[in-house]
Structure 1
Amino acid sequence: MLRRRPLPNVFDFNQLLTALVRMKQYPVAVSLFRDMCILNIPLNVVSFNIAINCCCHSNRLDYAFSLLGGVFKRGFVPNVVTYTTLIRGLLSQHKPSEARLLFTNLIKLREFEPNIVTYSTMINGLCKTGHTDMALWLFRFMQDSDCKPDTITYNMIIGSLCKHGRVDDALNVHSEMIEKGVLPDVWTYSPIIQVLCNVNRWEEVSMFLKQMMDDMNISPDVRTFTILVYAYSKSGKLDDAEQVIEIMNERGEYPDIVTYSTLMHGYCTQGKMDEALAVLSTIKSKEIILDCYTYNILLDAFCRELKLDIAMDLYRKMASEGLSPDVVTHNILLHGLCQLGKSTEALTFFYKIQDLGHKPNIVTYETLLGGLCKNHYVDKALSLFQAMECNGLIPESDTYNIIIRGCIRDKKYNEACKLVDKMVDCGFSADASTNTLLEHNQLSLQCIRRSMLATPHII
């Protein structure tokens, strides 16, 4: 492009910058923009807007605002995109007060007239960062302006209020929405129904469902139905959850893997394992693609019921169906083996999954260490603890407390005190249970003191 004579116009160079932004190559785009400035290549306000956007994405707000100065120096007039981008950048850096100050000053100085995109950008950013009150203030400001909120704007506010449990505020905004003639959609009702379910306001759930389907002629989608299935399952209303799935099928909104997994979890929670397995059969019969999460629900439930044989059988079926178990799957099974006192089998299983290329995490080690210590295999636990560090996993506070308690119970006091010292050196605390064991067994005063230093609230 630089070799061409005459040079390509500013539109062509902006297309190149835009392409880099789409590829998320923000530093490259900024570097190219800088070269364009040095080489006196034609620029316009769009070029600056692109560069400002890149700086915001790269968390360099200082550069972004210096580029705003460059806009003025070149005689360009910043537009709504320029200011909206800067406001979005401030919000992404959790600076809502600065974003609000910039916005209000721009309005006072009549520097720009915000449009629906500007308002939506700010409201969305405030809601995502948990600044719901400030988002509500801006929403009210918008209502008093010439640019009125639309369905999307209302949905942002209602969704944020529901997320933070402000049920009545969300219902008030919803009522305002209807009164002002702004039509709600399925995304308006879903969070309201969810939060009403969470606080067990079932009559209002029924009322909103009726309003949604009969008065507004809005059909609930899979997400809305899944919210209901989850809420009913969590509250033990499994017949109602099954009825929701029947309604889904009747209305042509077919349940997905999340819906069925939610129902399955409800049955597992109540120990109704036959019904849970029936749900699994339904998933397979409908040729819905299974995932590890679904199987993990069943595996965890069977392990809690101490039915390890069935859990292991399901584990083998996973592999036969082409599913690769994840680290959560293995942690569940290890916990199940340890619960039944099968620590040796758990250790064998642990090495086997490593041979198959599965990498354990901190929970895997803590589960196995707890099982080994509980069943008095402390020497094996100590070896595993050392292997853990050799494999690059850093022990956490819980890891130390598990192994220390195991050493004390097996009267390996020297090892326990060494581990306490090491734990304190790492900045971790001995918990109340560990401290009680240390004192009860009258270990060396130095060991106890070192332990207590990490937990001054116990002294």
Structure 2
Amino acid sequence: MISDLGVSDIGAKSVTRVLQSQIVNALHLGERDKASNILSSLSHGNDPLRSDDFVCILDYCARSPDPLFVMETWRIMEEKEIGMNTTCYMLIIQALTKGGYLEEAFNWLSYLGGIPHSVPDLPMYNVFLSGCIRMRSIGHIDSCLELMENQMVGKSEDTYWELLKLAVLQENLYAVHEIWKEYTKYYSPDITFLRKVIKCFTVLGDLCSAYKALQHSVALVFQGNAFVQRSSKLDIPIPSTNDFEFKKCGMSTTGDDLTRENHLDTFNAKTDALCGSVKSSNSKFVEATSEGRSFPMCDKVCQDSGYHVLNRELGNGNSDQVINNLRLSFNDVIHACAQDRKCVLDEQLFLQMQRLGIKPSSNTYDGLIRAAVRKRGLRNALKMLKEMEEANFKPSTSTLAILSIGCSNVLELDLAEALLDQIHTTSWLWPFNALLIGYDKTDQPERAVRLLAKMKQLNLKFDTKTYELLFSLFGCVNAPYEDGNILSRAEAAKRINAIELDMRKNGILHSHSSMEKLLKALGAEGMIKELMQHFHMAENQLILTNNFKGTIIYNTVLHSLVEANENLLATDIFKDMKSRGVPADMSTYNIMIDCCYSSGCYKSACMFVSMMIRDGFFPHLSTYTSLIQASFSTLVANDGFDEALHLLNQMNLERIQSDVQLFNSILFQAYMKDRIDIVELIVKQMHQERIKPDPDTCSFVFHAYKCLGLHIAAMEALQVLSMRMISYEESVLQKKKKYFEENFIFVEDQVEYFVEYRGMRKLRYSSEVELHILKESFKIGDYEAAALWNLRMCAVNGFSLSWSPDQSEWAKQLSCSHSSKNELYLPMDKTIIKKMKKRKHIAWVLRAS
């Protein structure tokens, strides 16, 4: 009789287990109706049911999660009056929390708290807190903490970890320190919990605290306290006997405290003290940067010694787990150091890892390469990549991406493209956008086509930045090298329509930046009709939402119209801009002054200057340059030179520094109108203000003398200005004299003769030296290359070179002449200047009238 009862009981259990498995399988396959039917069959069986007969179902619902089926199961248990244990309550709360039913889960916690002898366990609160933090429901978190305080359930290590995650979510560094301080009052932290704390500090940018917490972790390992054994049933707090206060180190997020040498010395001293005499005498150091710092790389002897030290200190079979925890903590701090340009701790951390025998992982090298790209340069980062590959680590996608971005930023585009070719799966768009920016800067749209094919292959979805770059790369066909024509405009329109069609397919709307690039492309090709169509679209969609961004759009359109000589249309657009309340800036007024120059109306230019001053903008260098050009476009007294010199005098009074472009605008007009006196005056003024000439300056002055038949003066002027183009300092010229003369100026060319069909023999110089100068221009600069070209021409034509340009007869004669003209540049009394500034607006109004 007894044996029969036992067999029956075992059979009932087997049937119940089978039904539970069938329910779980049905839920897994998505067959909810079938699962409900089997659950109903289970509840209507003749065998008595217990709470354990539903644990498998509740457990699956908690893991899935499936809050609806868990409530259906609970109703069945209620109907059958099946008593529930702690495990069932835990799984129900977990299913509701993970499923997003926070209010219902909290009601369960409150309900259990109100039943005598059924107070919820602390793990239930921890599960609920974890779900609330994941859902970012601050209200439920506050309610839960209040309920915990009322029920006096205390806090466990898991509770403190959830509170730390909440503090990180709120970016509350102070709360992290307070939680850590409270935790150490009741628990002795081990390296597992310290790793979590280090993660919080690094995410919030507190490198100082993260560094000290990391050193505590290392110290715990060598003290034999890497792991604290706790009871599996009771969470009994064990107060810490060590000082784990990190707040004293300062909570600055800049990492300034970690850039001092004494910190690094202390770091090394601590490591040596912990490792004993681990440091090997034959450690090697690999050159890291051009500044001469060394990147520490311990050799294999050092690493093996450190590993044996850890094994000797631990000796409890947990060495692999300890090393893995330490490695993760080191990686977190190294990655945080990579985000801070001032912190130099990543090198020291890597050295300490190797002294301790902690072998770096792929993630370690990823952090080191990020730090190298941002702080020590691309060359060092590539060395680290080579070290990584030699250590048989395959670079991760993030490593390749950050290296590619670094290469794109310094225009190493071949290497950047090669790195991206190694990426086979990714959702990151920013390294590809960085390479597109590089192609845009170097004007290589044909290479961008290949990159776009790669992006399509990876199924990357373009963002607004990508489309902005596409407009910049492919929106122009002939520009800026040639003017647009019918064919180029048709091709540009075809490309732009294709890009906009792709934007609409992907649901991407125009931004201010993408619209600006599109309008620039249309203006560069001279597509005025299409430009105005897109501009009116931008008016309706973008400008009205942000007037300040609208200013940029208007400036782009105005500039394109002025370049296309559509001056009347530009004036109408400016009036529309003012009527819509879109604020004009300095660029707007400068563009309109250029418009007046194109239309030959100097008085209108003065009117715009008056409006500029009224709006709070004072004329700058670019404004005066445009005004001087406009003054020559109108038939004013003395061909405009009196007005131009007056504007120069006004700039001098306002302490505005001139530049070579401004002087070139006057020199060009003086050369065109054979005003050699103005040419000499401007050259002298440039010398007084120590403004270096450029190739245009040399050309205008040379041809001005040549057109008047003053060939010797032309050659002397060309020689002096070329010397000044290299440097105004005679010591610099003397230093470069020998190198330039021996390698460029006095180098003899091969002479070739050829006979034309009329029998005339002419001398031709080969272009070897000229090509050499062109190649050197990448090293010495375009200005110095042009100067060498001019000086070589002087030498070839038989003129002796003097590397003291101020001693030239032409320069001496120039310095003694035009004394009367200098009165234009004499400084005036400060009170007069002050009065003139107050009356500046009135003066420009009078000029306009």
TM-score, normalised to structure 2, is: 0.41
CA distance in 2, matches of 1:62, 1:112: 24
The change in CA–CA distance for 1:94 and 1:172 in structure 2 (over 3 A counts) is same
Structure 2 residue 462 is matched with structure 1 residue 291 = yes
**Which residue type is aligned with residue 58 of structure 1?**
S
Secondary structure, in 3 states, of the residue corresponding to 1:291?
coil
Does the 8 Å contact 1:267/1:276 carry over to 2? yes
Does the 8 Å contact 1:327/1:359 carry over to 2? no
Secondary structure, in 3 states, of the residue corresponding to 1:183?
coil
Does the 8 Å contact 1:334/1:349 carry over to 2? yes
Partner residue, 2:210: 135
Partner residue, 1:270: 442
Q: When the two structures are aligned, how many residues end up with a matched partner?
A: 408
CA distance in 1, matches of 2:428, 2:164: 39
Partner residue, 2:736: none
Structure 2 residue 404 is matched with structure 1 residue 229 = yes
The change in CA–CA distance for 1:360 and 1:7 in structure 2 (over 3 A counts) is farther
CA distance in 2, matches of 1:17, 1:432: 68
Does the 8 Å contact 1:88/1:121 carry over to 2? no
Cα deviation for residue 38 of structure 1 reads: 4.4
CA distance in 1, matches of 2:374, 2:433: 19
Give deviations 1:325-354, integer Å, cap 9, x for gaps: 432333431354467787774452255579
| Among 2, 18, 42, the residue aligned to 2:94 | 18
Partner residue, 1:46: 123
Cα deviation for residue 155 of structure 1 reads: 1.8
Cα deviation for residue 384 of structure 1 reads: 4.7
Alignment of 1:52-451 (within 5 A): 52-53=129-130, 57-59=136-138, 63=143, 65-71=145-151, 73=152, 76=153, 78-107=155-184, 109=185, 111-115=186-190, 118-145=193-220, 146-147=225-226, 148=322, 149-166=325-342, 168-215=344-391, 217-245=392-420, 248=422, 259-281=431-453, 283=455, 286=457, 288-289=459-460, 291-292=462-463, 293-302=465-474, 309=489, 312-318=493-499, 322-328=505-511, 329-337=514-522, 345-352=530-537, 362=546, 365-371=550-556, 375-376=570-571, 377-382=573-578, 384-385=580-581, 400-402=583-585, 441=841
Give deviations 1:219-250, integer Å, cap 9, x for gaps: 0123222222221221122233344356x38x
More divergent stretch after superposition (340-349 vs 266-275): 340-349
Partner residue, 2:740: none
Does the 8 Å contact 1:319/1:325 carry over to 2? no
Which ranges in structure 1 are unaligned for 5 or more consecutive residues?
A: 386-398, 421-429, 444-459
Give deviations 1:30-62, integer Å, cap 9, x for gaps: 455335434666511122223444666434676
Does the 8 Å contact 1:79/1:112 carry over to 2? no
CA distance in 2, matches of 1:194, 1:206: 11
Does the 8 Å contact 2:168/2:203 carry over to 1? no
CA distance in 2, matches of 1:253, 1:83: 37
The change in CA–CA distance for 1:403 and 1:381 in structure 2 (over 3 A counts) is farther
The change in CA–CA distance for 1:181 and 1:242 in structure 2 (over 3 A counts) is same
The change in CA–CA distance for 1:242 and 1:406 in structure 2 (over 3 A counts) is closer
**Which residue type is aligned with residue 352 of structure 2?**
E
Does the 8 Å contact 1:265/1:297 carry over to 2? yes
CA distance in 2, matches of 1:206, 1:294: 27
Taking only the aligned residue pairs, the percentage that are identical comes to: 14
CA distance in 1, matches of 2:354, 2:95: 42
CA distance in 1, matches of 2:426, 2:102: 41
Does the 8 Å contact 2:409/2:434 carry over to 1? no
CA distance in 2, matches of 1:365, 1:49: 51
More divergent stretch after superposition (299-308 vs 178-187): 299-308
Larger-Rg structure: 2
CA distance in 1, matches of 2:436, 2:143: 52
CA distance in 2, matches of 1:222, 1:266: 20
Does the 8 Å contact 1:381/1:403 carry over to 2? no
Give deviations 1:279-301, integer Å, cap 9, x for gaps: 335555x5754624444323224
Does the 8 Å contact 2:217/2:326 carry over to 1? no
Cα deviation for residue 208 of structure 1 reads: 1.6
**Which residue type is aligned with residue 129 of structure 1?**
L
Secondary structure, in 3 states, of the residue corresponding to 2:215?
helix
Cα deviation for residue 432 of structure 1 reads: 7.0
Does the 8 Å contact 2:202/2:332 carry over to 1? yes
The change in CA–CA distance for 1:191 and 1:210 in structure 2 (over 3 A counts) is same
**Which residue type is aligned with residue 409 of structure 2?**
K
CA distance in 1, matches of 2:459, 2:362: 24
Partner residue, 1:426: none
CA distance in 2, matches of 1:173, 1:153: 11
Does the 8 Å contact 1:343/1:371 carry over to 2? no
CA distance in 2, matches of 1:332, 1:180: 54
Secondary structure, in 3 states, of the residue corresponding to 1:205?
helix
The change in CA–CA distance for 1:341 and 1:22 in structure 2 (over 3 A counts) is farther
CA distance in 2, matches of 1:134, 1:191: 19
CA distance in 2, matches of 1:117, 1:312: 61
The change in CA–CA distance for 1:239 and 1:98 in structure 2 (over 3 A counts) is closer
Secondary structure, in 3 states, of the residue corresponding to 2:187?
coil
**Which residue type is aligned with residue 89 of structure 1?**
L
The change in CA–CA distance for 1:358 and 1:130 in structure 2 (over 3 A counts) is same
Does the 8 Å contact 1:335/1:367 carry over to 2? no
CA distance in 2, matches of 1:347, 1:143: 67
Secondary structure, in 3 states, of the residue corresponding to 1:123?
helix
User: What is the alpha-carbon root mean square deviation over aligned residues?
Assistant: 4.5
CA distance in 2, matches of 1:271, 1:404: 25
CA distance in 2, matches of 1:433, 1:11: 78
**Which residue type is aligned with residue 88 of structure 1?**
K
Cα deviation for residue 161 of structure 1 reads: 0.7
CA distance in 1, matches of 2:501, 2:587: 40
Cα deviation for residue 85 of structure 1 reads: 1.6
Give deviations 1:183-211, integer Å, cap 9, x for gaps: 33222212321231233534432332222
Cα deviation for residue 164 of structure 1 reads: 0.8
CA distance in 2, matches of 1:276, 1:119: 47
Secondary structure, in 3 states, of the residue corresponding to 2:94?
helix
Secondary structure, in 3 states, of the residue corresponding to 2:344?
helix
TM-score, normalised to structure 1, is: 0.70
Which ranges in structure 2 are unaligned for 5 or more consecutive residues?
A: 1-73, 227-321, 560-569, 594-603, 624-836, 844-849
**Which residue type is aligned with residue 9 of structure 1?**
N
